């Protein structure tokens, strides 16, 4: 295990720079949020945890062990997020409608996830590990998020229904319903298979750290709105055209568009994920900056990134914000998102060979300790 000292120095220097950048901001949650998201970035690397590889193994070869283990994360997070969010006015939950926006957006996200070889958390943690593919995908993810934001107002005017288990059954009944539905879905995915203890521990650690994010910030953990904000502020810095649009003229969106980039919890958390992954990968010899991707791989990463961004905005997040955050909030939309992303993943798997990636007939069986697709 070779320690990469320049990477460690960069991770430390980046953390110091971010701390200096948030020093004058009045939000007391920023420093602890940075700390816990750095821990999350390190956890993704050290535990080799992610979601996209689990979807691919499940759909391409019928192996649901990795994907099934991923249900542990929202199951653990729901133990705190749902009752505390329902009972305390100081905490919020993610409860969004199930409608065409969610269904289409999740499918689009699934295609992008297979082409980019990662999701929101996977893209950020892999970027911290030096993945060239993800450093191509990320700016296009940000661009796609901005494009998706322009579609959201019209999409939200389409019919939809919000189902909040806490509102229907009370906080504790809602928690029971959430955990029961998670168990049923996990059993359907696993079909008698048993995930490894390491995979289950990884999901539990991610779920527990997601709880800490919730307790620190007052809201469930989210990733993709931060990436959308990166793209929006970059565009505004060159051509200030977004402030007059319906989405970005909303008072809440207008505020984060005008504030410092690191003042937004999702944006700061995304930076923390990258720094944590960089530090962990440098300390354990897991950097991947030497892996070339080629022209076709670059094109796939770019297209996948755009689709990830558009899909995330239309479907209210990614595996973290929509699935983990929605399910742990006791919202039906989190469960529906998981189902709706599957057709997009299925199509994306079949498009992968066009971009130099393995397709459905070339999935390599990996130990069920990992849910990740390496890139």
Domain boundaries, the chain: 5-361
Q: Taking Cα atoms as reference points, which of 136, 50, 104, 107 lies closest to residue 356? A: 136
Q: How far apart are CA 369 and CA 57, in angstroms?
A: 13
Mean pLDDT across the stretch 24-47?
A: 97
What percentage of residues in the chain have a pLDDT greater than 90?
Answer: 91
Answer yes or no: is pLDDT of 365 > 60.
no
- Which pLDDT score is estimated for 289? 86
Q: What is the pLDDT of residue 111?
A: 98
**Is the per-residue pLDDT at 373 higher than 50?**
no
- 95: CB partners within 8 A, 6+ apart: 162, 164, 326, 329, 330, 331, 333
- Looking at residue 145, what is its pLDDT? 98
Please indicate whether residue 158 or residue 359 has the higher confidence score (pLDDT). Answer: 158
Residue 62 pLDDT > 50: yes
> For residues 192 and 31, what is the distance between their CA atoms, to the nearest angstrom?
43
pLDDT of 148 = 98
Residue 361 has what pLDDT? 65
CB 224 within 8 A of CB 309: yes
Q: What is the pTM of this model?
A: 0.94
Would the CA dihedral through 200, 318, 166, 178 be positive or negative? negative
pLDDT confidence band for 367 (50 / 70 / 90):
very low
Average the pLDDT over 184-199 and give the result: 95
Q: What angle do CA 155, 100, 181 make, to 5 degrees?
A: 130
Number of helices (H), then strands (E), in the chain:
16, 0
Indicate whether 375 pLDDT > 50.
no
State the Cα–Cα distance between residues 24 and 22, nearest whole angstrom: 6
> What band does 2 get if pLDDT is binned at 50, 70 and 90?
confident
**Does residue 39 register a pLDDT over 80?**
yes
Task: Give the per-residue pLDDT at 369.
Answer: 40
Is the separation of the CB atoms in 69 and 198 below 8 Å? no
């Amino acid at each position: 295990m070779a320690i990469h000292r320049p990477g460690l120095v960069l991770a430390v220097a980046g953390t110091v720079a971010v701390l200096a950048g948030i020093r004058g901001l009045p939000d007391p949650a920023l420093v602890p949020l940075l700390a816990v998201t750095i821990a999350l970035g390190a956890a993704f690397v050290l535990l080799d945890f992610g979601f996209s590889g689990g979807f691919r193994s499940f759909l391409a070869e019928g192996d649901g062990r990795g994907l099934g283990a991923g249900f542990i994360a929202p199951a653990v997070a729901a133990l705190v997020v749902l009752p505390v969010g329902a009972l305390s006015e100081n905490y919020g939950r993610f409860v969004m409608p199930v409608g065409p926006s969610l269904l289409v957006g999740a499918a689009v996200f699934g295609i992008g996830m297979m082409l980019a070889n990662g999701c929101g958390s996977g893209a950020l943690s892999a970027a911290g590990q030096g993945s060239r593919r993800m450093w191509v995908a990320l700016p296009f993810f940000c661009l796609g998020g901005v494009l998706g934001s322009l579609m959201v107002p019209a999409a939200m005017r389409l019919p939809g229904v919000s189902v909040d288990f806490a509102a229907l059954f009370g906080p504790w009944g809602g928690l029971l319903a959430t955990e029961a539905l998670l168990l049923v879905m996990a059993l359907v995915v696993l079909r008698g298979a048993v995930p490894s203890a390491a995979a289950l521990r990884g999901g539990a650690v991610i779920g527990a750290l997601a709880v800490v994010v919730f307790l620190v910030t007052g809201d469930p953990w989210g990733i993709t709105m931060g990436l959308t904000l990166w793209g929006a502020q970059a565009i505004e810095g060159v051509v200030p055209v977004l402030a007059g649009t319906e989405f970005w003229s909303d008072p809440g969106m207008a505020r984060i568009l005008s504030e410092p980039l690191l003042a937004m919890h999702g944006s700061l958390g995304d930076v923390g994920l990258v720094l944590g992954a960089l530090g962990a990968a440098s300390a354990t010899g897991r950097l991947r900056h030497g892996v070339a991707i080629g022209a076709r791989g670059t094109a796939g990463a770019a297209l996948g990134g755009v689709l990830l961004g558009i899909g995330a905005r239309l479907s209210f997040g990614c595996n973290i914000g929509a699935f983990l955050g929605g399910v742990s909030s006791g919202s039906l939309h989190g469960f529906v998102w998981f189902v709706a992303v599957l057709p997009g993943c299925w199509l994306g798997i079949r498009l992968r060979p066009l971009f130099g990636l393995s397709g459905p007939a070339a999935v390599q069986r990996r130990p069920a300790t990992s849910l990740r697709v390496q890139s």
